[in-house]
Amino acid sequence: MTLSSVSVPPGTFTIGKTFGFEAGHRLAGLPAGHKCSRQHGHSYQIDVILTAMSLTEPGFVTDFGALAPFKEFLGNELDHRNLHEVLPFEPTSEHLAQYLAGWIVQNLQPQLPGRLLAVQVRETGRSWARFDVGDK
């Protein structure tokens, strides 16, 4: 068998890139005794997941460099902030994943060759929330 004799199956390509920021929040909608109703912080990790049926040259779903404006947005708007003071919603990981997906769709999607599949938000190494973008 030679390398050129491998036939490639049909399917989709998926890539991901992880971004991070530090922020605090409290969830005011919880009862006073709940630990998350008090001010606390997280080292957030955000996974942006993109998909495509075919690749652009030289063989990318999307060039990771095209996601640089998202990193800039996180750094300028969310890093070292109290999320409950800057976001227009209760800053749960679920809401944050949906909001960040919306930001990407609105600000980057028109220029990206790949389609945003999902955004995953991790508050800790053991807990996460994911928002899967629906087809229009």
**pLDDT per position as a tens digit, 63-96:** 999 999 999 999 999 999 999 999 999 999 999 9
Q: What pLDDT was estimated at residue 131?
A: 98
123 given a catalytic annotation: yes
**pLDDT per position as a tens digit, 5-43:** 888 889 999 999 999 999 999 888 888 889 888 889 999
Catalytic annotation, pick one of 40, 72, 80, 85:
80
**Any idea where the domains of the chain sit in the sequence?**
13-61+114-136
**Cα three-residue angle 16-18-23, rounded to 5 degrees:** 150
pTM for the model: 0.92
DSSP readout, 75-117?
IIIITTEEHHHHSSS---HHHHHHHHHHHHHHHTGGG-SSEEE
What's the CA gap between 87 and 92, in Å, rounded?
Answer: 11
According to CATH, the topology of domain 13-61+114-136 is: Tetrahydropterin Synthase; Chain A (3.30.479)
80 given a catalytic annotation: yes
